[in-house]
A and B are shown apart, each in its own frame.
Chain A
Amino acid sequence: MADITVSREDQASVRGRRVRSFISLMRRWPVSSIVIISLLVFTGIFAPWLAPEPERFGEIRNSFEKPAILGGDSRFILGTDQLGRDILSRILFGARISLLISVIVVVISGTFGTVMGLISAWYGGWVDEIIMRLVDGINAMPIITVALVLAVVFGPSFGLLIFILAIGSWPGYARVVRGEALVVRKLDYVASARIAGASTPRILFRHLLPGVINVTVVVATLSLSSVILAEAGLSFLGIGVPAPTPSWGGMVSDGRDFLTTAWWVSVFPGIAIAVTVVAFVLLGDWLRDRFDPRLRQL
């Protein structure tokens, strides 16, 4: 009898330890973010093989099919939209578009912003003044209205969408990188490099850049989430991703007129946006705390 009690206690303590180590793992690593983002990247890359139905075509007779999880046609797990297109397939392809656009935007704006920040910090004086006033000026411009203006002049397109989002996000990098580079620039090793006769580009990219790359990565992760949100907003307005290509924002907009009869058309893509953004925000927060707690106020 006594033996059994002891072994139960042992089991309980083992389970307790496991739970505790699981919690500390969750605290130390943003596990949920990493899982969600890996899933997204996976579905984004393999969308054509994963999607059960074609994403751009449907049959009208299948329109507004209920989600299978609520007792609809078993072919359409998340139901269909007004044109009979499978919502799940469109969400999978939407992940591809959303991630592709945001990654391109982050790479372009991150590179440009970082270079501008380095130049601003290195040269100082009127160069710094001009770049920083430009940064202020762009921050003072509401990005959605800029997008509206450019859409009326050029018409919505992928190129324009990427341009607008990149224009809106490079100042974030420039400002943070400049602040960081101003500190690094005064360090002894930079002075030594200068005395040794290193050229300006060499100092900027070989000596300053490694010192500021941490903050660039943090800003990039945080900015991924806001770029995804902005892209969704513009696509929702009809001035983002052009029509037949599935985008999450556009899908939410598609379902707007059918809320009474088919709520799933809008609701599921919205969940996809929210979950993705949360994942990137949490990952960004974690990276920020890990790399540089001083950035907390960002």
Chain B
Amino acid sequence: MLRFLIRRLFTSLVTMLLVVTAMFVLTRSFGDPRNVYVGDAFNENISQERWDALGVSLGIDKPIYVQYARYVGRLAVGDLGESIHQRRPVQELILERMPATAKLALGGFLFMLLMGIPLGVLAAVSRGGPWDYLSRLIAILGHSAPSFWIAILLVFFFGVKLGWLPTFGSGGIKHYILPSITLGLGSASGMLRIVRSSMLEVLDSEYVKMARAKGVSRKWVLWKHALRNAMISPLTVAGLTLGSLITGSVLIEVVFAWPGLGTLSLSSVFNADFTTVQGVFLVVTLFYVTTSFLVDILYALVDPRIRFS
């Protein structure tokens, strides 16, 4: 197990280092990195002092390997640089917006579990029946309809037509309903399919038949014996979707004007604020890599075959 852990940790670190290096190469690919950092929109109105100061802080008078070491070193201690546009440290901006995105991702996660698990179980129990078809339909739609479009439809019906729910911004619990549903729908359809197939497998097993033969009631067998064992792989997959929920939230945040990392990142793109976009990218990637690391460890703990493959 320890060997697996070390190996996996090493892979994660290499991935992160590769991402950071790619970023460094990208900024230096135009010669003077200031052209990337400052962006076209600001080239004319940035003062000479700020231009020079940026050069000093990037160390462009030093050899390239010193620049690289400095770049990696700063990121390693969590210094993401200063936003040219907002004149504030990027880590501050990110910390400000992070809670909103995290809460939204959590909302989507909850919706995924609340919808995916019961529907998956129902589909497995009524295999070939109406519930199975309904859940198949939902799975295909959730997988195929673009989330941002679903978001707009929901806003139209529940916000504009019926006026039941707020359609933009964050606030009370009501603000979470529509964004969470939209964000969670795609993952819920994946969850549903995994729960269904896992449940079918378990329901077919000897010990479930044994329990039924002993005279244990159908309901009890289903919820007590089968579901618990069928949940192992769906739950590990669920952990992995947390990462994709964070990135998926970019699209949803834009529709709902949610004050999170997605809107920060997109508005920074249009402000040609490279430092901020880079910061959000690195933080999100770090989160992604970390969750997949944790999920793999969890998976290896649950299923010993993984460790030795």
Select one of A137, A150, A278 contacting B15, CB under 8 A.
Answer: A137
Tell whether A149 pairs with B11 under 8 Å between CB atoms, given A249-B146, A266-B149, A281-B140: no
Please, could you name 6 A-B residue pairs with CB atoms under 8 Å apart, sorted by A?
A144-B250, A153-B36, A237-B266, A249-B148, A267-B153, A278-B144
Binds A, one of B116-124, B211-219, B271-279: B271-279
Per the bound structure, the CA–CA distance linking A252 and B147 in Å amounts to 11
Q: Is the CB of A274 within 8 A of B144?
A: yes
Select one of B143, B153, B274, B284 contacting A153, CB under 8 A.
Answer: B274
Contacts of A146 in B (CB 8 A): 281
Tell me if B269 counts as interface (CB < 8 A to partner A): yes
Q: Is the CB of B144 within 8 A of A281?
A: yes
- Give chain A's interface residues, CB within 8 Å of chain B: 133-134, 136-137, 140-146, 148-153, 155, 225, 229, 232-233, 236-239, 249, 252-253, 255-256, 259-260, 263, 266-267, 270, 273-274, 277-278, 281-282
Tell whether A233 pairs with B153 under 8 Å between CB atoms, given A137-B19, A140-B292: no
Q: Is the CB of B146 within 8 A of A273?
A: yes
Q: Is the CB of A277 within 8 A of B145?
A: yes
Contacts of A282 in B (CB 8 A): 140
Q: Is the CB of A260 within 8 A of B269?
A: no
Contacts of A252 in B (CB 8 A): 146, 148-149, 152
Number of contact residues on B: which range applies? 35 or more
Tell me if B66 counts as interface (CB < 8 A to partner A): no
Contacts of A144 in B (CB 8 A): 247-248, 250-251
Q: Is the CB of B155 within 8 A of A259?
A: yes
Given A233-B148, A260-B160, 9 other A-B residues pairs in contact with their CB atoms under 8 A: A142-B244, A142-B284, A142-B288, A145-B247, A152-B277, A232-B146, A259-B160, A274-B145, A281-B143
Chain B CB within 10 Å — which of A133, A140, A238 has the most?
Answer: A140
B124 to chain A, nearest CB (A): 16
Contacts of A140 in B (CB 8 A): 15, 285, 288-289, 292
Tell whether A142 pairs with B247 under 8 Å between CB atoms, given A152-B273, A237-B254: yes
Q: Is the CB of B156 within 8 A of A259?
A: yes
Q: Is the CB of B250 within 8 A of A152?
A: no
Per the bound structure, the CA–CA distance linking A52 and B141 in Å amounts to 30
Contacts of B246 in A (CB 8 A): 142
Tell me if B268 counts as interface (CB < 8 A to partner A): yes
Per the bound structure, the CA–CA distance linking A48 and B81 in Å amounts to 49
Chain B CB within 10 Å — which of A149, A225, A229, A236 has the most?
Answer: A149
A82 to chain B, nearest CB (A): 15
Tell me if B14 counts as interface (CB < 8 A to partner A): yes
Select one of A137, A141, A237, A273 contacting B145, CB under 8 A.
Answer: A273
Per the bound structure, the CA–CA distance linking A16 and B61 in Å amounts to 84
Q: Is the CB of A270 within 8 A of B269?
A: no
Closest to B285 in A: A141
Per the bound structure, the CA–CA distance linking A133 and B160 in Å amounts to 48
Q: Is the CB of A152 within 8 A of B268?
A: yes
Per the bound structure, the CA–CA distance linking A282 and B136 in Å amounts to 12
